[in-house]
Structure 1
Amino acid sequence: MKLVNIALAAALASGLATTVSAEVLRFSSFEPPVAHVTKNILTPWAAEVNAASGGELDIQIFPGGTLGRNPAQQLKLVEDGVADIAWVIPGYTPGRFDEGTVAELPFLVPNSTVGSEAMWKLSQSGLLEGDYANFKLIGVMASYPNGLASTVEITEPGALKGQNIRAPGPVMLSAIQSLEAVPVGGITGPTLAESISRGLIAGTFTQFGAIETFRVGDVISHYVDLPLGATPMLIVMNKAKYDGLSEQAKAAIDQYSGAAFSERFGKSFDQNVAEARERILGENEITLLEPDAALTAKWQEAMSVATEDWIAQTENGQAIYDAFKAAIDEAAAAN
């Protein structure tokens, strides 16, 4: 009888062990599953964290707006617990992460690798207040800088006067206004090509990765290749969800987050933009303008008021700008 009881206890223990399941974390992406960021950055990141957790985590990617289609709603999905983690474009939620919009200033971020490294460093400086502290920050990044894609020929900055131009963030919209164009907000990536084809806008601040992802190459005819401002980006996690995880699960997330995530993101993003640029220009009839030093100086002068206004209108604006510029210079020297 004693042997039977021991065997039964062992069987029960074994059964209980097999019913313990990993903590499922839902990771929302508004991009299609085959788009670069989702396929080549977010999905591998989730797999590596899952492996590092020793079976305690099962991070599942929900791409293509499965949990919520609107890119502007991704932050709310995390706040409401619909998603545990999400890729967020702060420019779609004005007023929440205002200090980080420094990355949108023209002629500041040279590429995503440098910009993302500098953004993470800035996030650790104590200068970013807003809603940053309300989330577990997986990554704080910046896109490759946006040029100007349009349906009309634009060379001089004065040619933008009166044109409806879209941008993905409030500071870039301010920069558009400084050029006497009509700034148009509220148009997200998935609706961009339709907005251009319907004539709602004559152009947009964007980069070649987004042009490819959202099929904008079919509807534009010109591109001005200047660093007119990067798009700040975040990967955020519901803080209460993170706080409730085991120490091993937290350690796995931390191992691949922060500076490590920003570095992963920036290098991959830059490589994709370079490859997408070659594909887009090869497959579409787009006139590419790469301004010389004299013309670049004209654009810089015309858009300098956007930087001046941002510093003046942002609390601690000068300190944030100086810290970010120093981080940019440091990262550029190291890469």
Structure 2
Amino acid sequence: MRTAFTLTAFAAALLLSAGAAQAEDKLVTLKLSSWVPAQHPLNPSLLAWAESLKKASNNTITATLFPSEQLGKAFDHYDMARDGISDFSYVNPGYQPGRFPIMAGASLPFLFANAKGGTAAIDAWYREYAAQEMKDVKFCFAFVHDPGTFHARKKILLPTDIRGMKIRPATSTIGQMVTALGGTNVQASAPESRDMLERGVADAITFPWGSIPLFGIDKVVRFHMDVPLYVTPFVWVMNKAKYDSLAPGQKRAVDDHCTTEWAERVASPWADFESGGHTKLAQPGHEIYKLTPEQLKAWRDATAGGEAQWAEAVKKTGQDPKKVMETLRSNLVKYKAAL
């Protein structure tokens, strides 16, 4: 009887101790930075993620989302998380050429067939490399948008049509492709792109479908190549000092929200939005056109050299590019997102 009572009392004491520790967790407010406009479908997903994190932390972690580059320019979002300007940042690694060579492989042409399986694939793949390549921040998860393509003032059918054109590429990897095909890159973040096209600084853009009307780009381009040319990889990253300052239970809550499952949950509504862009652009004044098998083969052949260029950059990181790419491709097959 005494032993049973002692064990019961000990267990109760542990529960009380745990409850007290949780009750003592300080209140934390996180600054979440998103550079896309407030009406973009990614933002509600990030708010849902933050609300779930709040509940998981026993209401001790709350968050405020700052969209539309309120805290800083799109190009700066990785450094903003590193420096504590934001606590979490939505980052396009491809905005900074050469800085994230491993991740750049995910934006090589003709890899991804869709965003939902593609998000699971890229997140599962990149977790092995994030600590090395993004060591300045705490990596939370990676995701992609639905495959994008060329949207232009004129019809682009063959790789040779790129010669002499000025193109705003989605990532540095796509920029290398444009250069290799004889085009000129015009650097601009997504929010700046319409202005570049409107002023004639650029002739075409690589962009996902639904975001063309969202950013008003449908007002300045009318030809849309119907092919899954590329995806843009993104990451959701956290300031390390902020994470380190959290109580153990709060850290567990954050860790539980930095998973492949959460990457899929955050990216899926955006994936549906971009896919629906095909219908939105099927209107008078716009032409959506498919490539013939011969034209598609010409594109695949003309862009194949990009992987060798990427591999040279990866070798400098100490990684084996063949293994890195094989792992990505196997994950794409596993999650039914391979072309």
TM tier, smaller: 0.7 to 0.9
Question: Take 2:267 and 2:323, find their aligned partners in 1: how far apart are those partners?
Answer: 24
Report what 1:72 is aligned to: 75
Residues 318 and 176 from structure 1, CA distance in 2 versus in 1: closer, same or farther, beyond 3 angstroms? same
Report what 1:35 is aligned to: 40
Q: Which amino acid aligns with 1:174?
A: Q
Report what 2:290 is aligned to: 290
* Residue ranges of structure 1 left out of the alignment (5+ in a row): 1-17
Report what 2:249 is aligned to: 248
For normalisation by structure 1, the TM-score amounts to: 0.87
Residues 225 and 129 from structure 1, CA distance in 2 versus in 1: closer, same or farther, beyond 3 angstroms? farther
Q: Which amino acid aligns with 2:178?
A: I
- Displacement of 1:133 in angstroms is 2.9
Question: Take 1:247 and 1:274, find their aligned partners in 2: how far apart are those partners?
Answer: 40
Q: Is the 8 A contact 1:22 1:56 kept in 2?
A: yes
Q: Does the residue aligned with 1:205 lie in a helix, a strand or coil?
A: strand
Report what 2:6 is aligned to: none
Q: Is the 8 A contact 1:114 1:266 kept in 2?
A: no
- Displacement of 1:264 in angstroms is 1.4
Report what 2:19 is aligned to: none
Question: Take 1:128 and 1:81, find their aligned partners in 2: how far apart are those partners?
Answer: 19
Report what 2:311 is aligned to: 311
- Displacement of 1:19 in angstroms is 11
Residues 224 and 111 from structure 1, CA distance in 2 versus in 1: closer, same or farther, beyond 3 angstroms? same
Question: Take 1:132 and 1:258, find their aligned partners in 2: how far apart are those partners?
Answer: 16
- Displacement of 1:163 in angstroms is 0.6
- Displacement of 1:130 in angstroms is 4.6
Q: Which amino acid aligns with 1:329?
A: V
Q: Which amino acid aligns with 1:92?
A: Y
- Displacement of 1:312 in angstroms is 3.4
- Displacement of 1:105 in angstroms is 0.5
Query: Which of 107, 110, 121 is the aligned partner of 1:107?
Result: 110
Report what 1:26 is aligned to: 31
Question: Take 2:71 and 2:312, find their aligned partners in 1: how far apart are those partners?
Answer: 39
Question: Take 1:33 and 1:167, find their aligned partners in 2: how far apart are those partners?
Answer: 23
Q: Which amino acid aligns with 2:114?
A: N
Report what 1:13 is aligned to: none
- Displacement of 1:46 in angstroms is 0.8
Report what 2:229 is aligned to: 228
Question: Take 1:196 and 1:266, find their aligned partners in 2: how far apart are those partners?
Answer: 27
* Residue ranges of structure 2 left out of the alignment (5+ in a row): 1-22
Report what 1:124 is aligned to: 127
Question: Take 1:313 and 1:84, find their aligned partners in 2: how far apart are those partners?
Answer: 30
Report what 2:191 is aligned to: 190
- Displacement of 1:329 in angstroms is 1.0
- Displacement of 1:237 in angstroms is 0.3
- Displacement of 1:124 in angstroms is 2.6
Question: Take 2:313 and 2:96, find their aligned partners in 1: how far apart are those partners?
Answer: 18
Q: Is the 8 A contact 1:138 1:261 kept in 2?
A: no
Deviation string, structure 1 residues 195-243 (Cα, Å, up to 9, x no partner)? 0111111101111133133111111010112222211101000012112
Give the share of equivalent positions with the same residue, in percent.
23
Question: Take 1:170 and 1:66, find their aligned partners in 2: how far apart are those partners?
Answer: 24
Count of paired positions: 313
Report what 2:10 is aligned to: none
Question: Take 2:244 and 2:313, find their aligned partners in 1: how far apart are those partners?
Answer: 35
Q: Is the 8 A contact 2:117 2:337 kept in 1?
A: no
Q: Which amino acid aligns with 1:305?
A: G
Question: Take 1:54 and 1:20, find their aligned partners in 2: how far apart are those partners?
Answer: 9
Q: Does the residue aligned with 1:124 lie in a helix, a strand or coil?
A: helix
Deviation string, structure 1 residues 271-330 (Cα, Å, up to 9, x no partner)? 111223322334x62111121323211211111111232223421222211111111111
For normalisation by structure 2, the TM-score amounts to: 0.86
Q: Which amino acid aligns with 2:229?
A: L
Question: Take 1:209 and 1:61, find their aligned partners in 2: how far apart are those partners?
Answer: 22
Report 1:195-214 matches (<5 A).
195-214=196-215
- Displacement of 1:21 in angstroms is 6.2
Question: Take 2:25 and 2:145, find their aligned partners in 1: how far apart are those partners?
Answer: 40
Question: Take 1:277 and 1:214, find their aligned partners in 2: how far apart are those partners?
Answer: 15
Q: Which amino acid aligns with 1:134?
A: D
Question: Take 1:98 and 1:20, find their aligned partners in 2: how far apart are those partners?
Answer: 39
The reply on whether 1:84 has 2:103 as its aligned counterpart is no
Q: Is the 8 A contact 1:97 1:130 kept in 2?
A: no
Report what 1:5 is aligned to: none
Report what 2:60 is aligned to: 56
Query: Which of 158, 174, 177 is the aligned partner of 2:176?
Result: 174
Q: Which amino acid aligns with 2:304?
A: S
Q: Give the root-mean-square deviation of aligned CA atoms.
A: 2.2
Q: Which amino acid aligns with 2:144?
A: A
Question: Take 1:205 and 1:270, find their aligned partners in 2: how far apart are those partners?
Answer: 16
Q: Which moved more, 1:304-313 or 1:193-202?
A: 304-313
Q: Is the 8 A contact 1:116 1:140 kept in 2?
A: yes
Report what 1:323 is aligned to: 327
Residues 20 and 333 from structure 1, CA distance in 2 versus in 1: closer, same or farther, beyond 3 angstroms? closer
- Displacement of 1:248 in angstroms is 2.0
